[in-house]
Structure 1
Amino acid sequence: MWYPEKTLLQLQRPKAPVSLAEAKLEQDRKDQELCEVVPTKVTLGHRLWLLQRLSSLLDDDFKKGNLTKLLHEWMRQLKEVELPNQERDSRQRQLEVEQLLRRSADPKALNRFGGTALISAAAEGLQEVVEALVKAGAQLEARNERGDTALILASNKGHLKVVEALVKAGAQLEARDERGNTALILASHNGHLKVVEALVKAGARLEACDEHGNTALVRASSDGHLKVVEALVKAGAQLDGRGSNALIRASVGGHLQVVEALVKAGAQLEARDGGGHTALVRALDFDHLQVVEVLVKAGARLEARDEKDPSLVRRLAWALKKAGARFKARRPW
């Protein structure tokens, strides 16, 4: 027999509470969806890093086979994340992120590659997404498996607006990756002038060194980034630090304009690298004749220890002759 009253009571009963397990699954789903709104790309350098980390497994055929399977599976998972994101623009990602955050997705959650949504968004230069995540409480100093923070990645890629947003939010300027690089060192290395200027203005340490003792000025000089070198010198970067030497590194690379700028700024011509070589000797080693000419004209000389190498003296004489024998009046050794 049908009882309308009972049916009405049944309809009015509250739904059974969701179990803790179900709630956790739903939260995990939202968290991963948030992480995957922004693309999670692996650069060539990242892949090389991964292969180096896994190289210890390559001591027998069995491990090689297992490693190959792992890499194929890893790349398959990567494509699952990348392909859907290729068709999303920055604004669409921002709206999706904001919607997920309103549904209580955790901005601190880790994706399957060990990073956060903020790290991925910063690496891709998605300013609006970064700002939404920061506002929701994303960890500014969270790191991926390589030790990169959001600020380090944004600086490395030259994403000025993202860098400015992260600095404004209080990101640590002196955080380092696993090779000792700071945001300023990486921005200088890659020639991102505007990012360098923003970081310097925010108070980034000019004399911070990477694991090899290279400062931002040394890295910029080594790679021939004249405008960055000039900006760092103007900001007060030391020309002759205890570690690597900017003038020597610029001379090795044959970066004539950088050498001229450093000489003009007062770099020590007789400073020596770890092998005891001056900028003049290193320029000769790499046959950078114009650099040799600039250094000699500025007053660089071969010292007694250098003169013991007859080939070095001959190369200098040849270089000066090729440059036009403009220094007959003064022997530089």
Structure 2
Amino acid sequence: MNVKSPLCGALIGLCLWSGVVQASDALFRNIEQADSSAVTALLEQDAALLEVRDSRGNTPLLAAAQMNSVPLVRLLLASGAAPSAMNYKHRDILNTAVSVSNPEIARLALQAGADPTQVTSVYEGSALIYATHQAELEIMQLLIAAGAPLDRVNNLGWTALLEAVILGNGGEDYVSAVRLLLAAGADRNIADKKGKTPLDHARDKGYQTLITVLQTPVKE
């Protein structure tokens, strides 16, 4: 009678786990090297590798986006990678597209089903708030068109409009960001935790163009 001992079973499990770890490490290494052929070969061997995580909680898709690799992002999404996965800092691929200033990554992610309403980052904000903070205008347009919440308030008490004024420099890009939000229907009267509106902050900073924009009704 052939009876496997518990030790034998444990050794088999350990070997299988070791194999998964090695494949996972190889996948992230090949993503870092932008080796699409090697990534494809590994995924063909084991599709479950799509959702493994690195030490920062990044999936292969998030790692590819952080490398600013459109071909790899396209490949991983086409292979079935989860488009709304977040890492340990609660950043998703839409946040990452903002970080690397790449609207094409945001476009591909949204087309694949990335959720623009998702609460992200340690500030419990959104990709739109982050895109506004960075004045990434094309990504803002994509997110707004996809239904991103215009008036999400993060745990600092700031909406996207407030971030544009508080964290922006009052320059042309931030004026354009404010115009985009207002044209989409963002509420200019939402105040921060101290009761200050975007207009109040613009006045405090002396941002004359923003003061004018925030005082001007949006044309229908």
Category of TM-score, reference length = shorter chain: 0.7 to 0.9
Q: Could you tell me which runs of 5 or more consecutive residues in structure 1 were left unpaired when the two chains were aligned.
A: 1-137
Paired residue type of 2:217: A
Question: CA offsets, 1:157-197, max 9 Å, x none?
Answer: 43222211211121511111111111101112232111111
Paired residue type of 2:111: K
**Partners of 1:255 and 1:311 in 2: how far apart?**
19
Say yes or no: does 1:194 pair with 2:76.
Answer: no
Structure 1 position 316, deviation (Å): 6.9
Paired residue type of 1:329: P
Paired residue type of 1:299: G
**Partners of 2:208 and 2:140 in 1: how far apart?**
17
2:150–2:181 CA contact under 8 A, matched in 1: yes
3-state DSSP class of the match of 1:305? coil
What is aligned with 2:21?
Answer: 141
Paired residue type of 2:177: V
Say yes or no: does 1:267 pair with 2:148.
Answer: yes
TM-score by length of 1: 0.51
What is aligned with 2:9?
Answer: none
What is aligned with 1:167?
Answer: 43
Question: CA offsets, 1:217-268, max 9 Å, x none?
Answer: 2211333210010000011110011333111111111211111111122211
What is aligned with 2:112?
Answer: 235
Number of equivalent positions: 190
2:150–2:185 CA contact under 8 A, matched in 1: yes
2:117–2:147 CA contact under 8 A, matched in 1: no
**Partners of 1:166 and 1:139 in 2: how far apart?**
12
Higher relative contact order (CA 8 A, sep 6+): 2
What is aligned with 2:202?
Answer: 315
**Partners of 2:179 and 2:138 in 1: how far apart?**
13
2:190–2:197 CA contact under 8 A, matched in 1: no
3-state DSSP class of the match of 1:229? helix
Sequence identity percentage: 26
What is aligned with 1:62?
Answer: none
Say yes or no: does 1:214 pair with 2:91.
Answer: yes
What is aligned with 1:179?
Answer: 56
Counterpart among 197, 216, 219 of residue 328 in structure 1: 216
TM-score by length of 2: 0.74
1:304 to 1:237, Cα distance in 2 relative to 1, 3 A: closer
2:162–2:198 CA contact under 8 A, matched in 1: no
What is aligned with 1:158?
Answer: 34
Counterpart among 168, 184, 187 of residue 301 in structure 1: 187
What is aligned with 1:122?
Answer: none
Larger Rg: 1 or 2?
1
RMSD: 2.9
2:66–2:100 CA contact under 8 A, matched in 1: yes
1:215 to 1:329, Cα distance in 2 relative to 1, 3 A: closer
1:315 to 1:263, Cα distance in 2 relative to 1, 3 A: same
**Partners of 1:169 and 1:297 in 2: how far apart?**
49
Say yes or no: does 1:289 pair with 2:169.
Answer: no
Q: Could you tell me which runs of 5 or more consecutive residues in structure 2 were left unpaired when the two chains were aligned.
A: 1-17
**Partners of 1:226 and 1:293 in 2: how far apart?**
19
**Partners of 1:296 and 1:310 in 2: how far apart?**
14
